[in-house]
């Protein structure tokens, strides 16, 4: 994910140990339970799975985002 440029300029969440990797890849690391940035859903750990799943269902229902359509 980091080498593809997919996190460049996006706010994402991960295990805290990946913070530096995300920042080095141009991402903006935030500490929240779940985060959506233009259709990309991220969370911190398996403990956040219920919130992650709820957000994924919302995103599926919304369909494609404008930025996603431009790069497809």
Cβ atoms of 16 and 34 closer than 8 Å: no
Which H or E run contains 60?
helix 49-62
φ, ψ for residue 14, nearest 5 deg = -160, 180
Is residue 71 predicted with pLDDT exceeding 80?
A: no
Q: How many domains is the chain partitioned into structurally?
A: 1
Domain coverage including residue 63: 2-71
Q: pTM here?
A: 0.74
CA atoms of 2 and 4, how far apart (whole Å): 6
Residue 6 sits in a domain whose CATH number is: 3.40.50.880
Q: Read off the pLDDT of residues 43-55 as tens digits, 9 standing for 90 and up.
A: 999 999 999 999 9
Whether 25 and 2 have beta carbons less than 8 Å apart is answered as yes
């Amino acid at each position: 994910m980091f080498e593809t440029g997919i996190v460049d300029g996006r706010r994402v969440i991960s295990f805290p140990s990946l913070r530096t990797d995300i920042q080095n890849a141009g991402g903006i690391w935030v500490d929240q339970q779940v985060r959506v940035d233009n259709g990309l859903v991220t969370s911190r750990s398996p403990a956040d799975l219920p919130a992650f799943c709820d957000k994924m269902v919302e995103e599926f229902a919304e369909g494609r985002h404008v930025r996603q359509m431009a790069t497809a």
